[in-house]
Amino acid sequence: MIDHQRLADEFFRLASISSPSFREGTISRYLSERLRLLGAEVVDDGAGPKIGSESGNLVAYFPARGKEASPLMLSVHMDTVEPGDGVQPVLQDGVFTSAGETVLGADDKAGIAEILEAIQVLQERDIPYGPLEVVVTVCEEVGLLGAKNLDFSLIRSRRGLALDTSGVDLAIHRAPCANKIRFEVRGREAHAGIAPEMGLSAIAVAARAIDRMRLGRIDEETTANMGTIRGGQATNIVPRSVVLEGEARSHSRLKLEQQTAHMIDCFKEAARELTRDIGGRPVCAEVVTEVMSDYPLMAVPRDAGILQLVEAAGKTLGRTIEVKGAGGGSDANVFNGQGIETVILGTGMSNVHSVDEFVRVEDMVRVSELLVEIISQA
């Protein structure tokens, strides 16, 4: 049923439009028109100015055609990571790559092309389907900002699919919740050569804290990382201040809380242990901590209706859908946090977030076929 050439042409057009996060204006205008041509009512939710993007999130409403059903949400994001300017997609032997030193943008434009093709097939073959809501977010790649600022009053669906992971015939139903953690250690500056005993090194405190911290793979559900550190003024000054940023994530809310508390305690203990007597009085470094929830837990039950729908569609096509958990966050975490039971579908994209990114046309065809079945059975 899928028109291979039309699908490839659509992906080529999408990939050729540069759309790094915050600069999605051109692709937003293209998608608005493209979705309207398919018969959708398209709304920009106005999130753009709130997050500094050229566009808000797009919500496209497709009315039911010959079938009564509860609405189904299909979600993708329109932005790409850098380097994303001047993308030149190349198709060779059925595989799309980037011609230059840029990403291809299959993350997430493969998903967009697959949704457009599936809807077009349903319409031209008069296959009945229920109401659809296609949500295209901005700034997903920079902290899910579009989804976090989406006007959810525009969404009626209570079930959905987010097309945004590698692989085909794959559904992700579990993903961790995460915290971002910022530490600022404030010590006391002094001349490092003349009077080092009058200073208290913020970097020394931070180093001790990190040395005793559990990081990396904590257990099968939990990871943690300290990702950035900046501070100090010069090699001849005992550093007064250092700022560190890290994260913790887990498939268990309790374990996330415990790991976050552990990381904070490491800094507090290091500050106490490195208290110094300066000028006849004890001086202890001050630790200022900020914990920010990055995204909520995604835990769609294995027997959830949306998963049963995906698996039933796969069975119709003679396929077995692999259902598993993942280690990263996505817009689907945010949708689930808003009560929209959402799983993530593989789109066929590979080597994402690199200049070696690629996607096979046959894989996009395979995903489009699955979407046609899912939508028709929803």
Catalytic residues: 79, 140
| Secondary structure in 3-state letters for 251-315 | CCHHHHHHHHHHHHHHHHHHHHHCCEEECCEEECCEEEEEEEEEECCEECCCCCHHHHHHHHHHH
CB 354 within 8 A of CB 343: no
* Pick from 118, 91, 85: nearest CA to 18: 85
Residue 172 in tokens: 């992700």
Q: Rounded to whole angstroms, how far apart are CA atoms 272 and 54? A: 47
Tokens of 69: 């059903």
8 A C-beta contact, residue 336 and residue 296: yes
Phi, psi of 315 (to 5 degrees): -60, -40
Whether the CB-CB separation of 274 and 200 falls below 8 Å is answered with yes
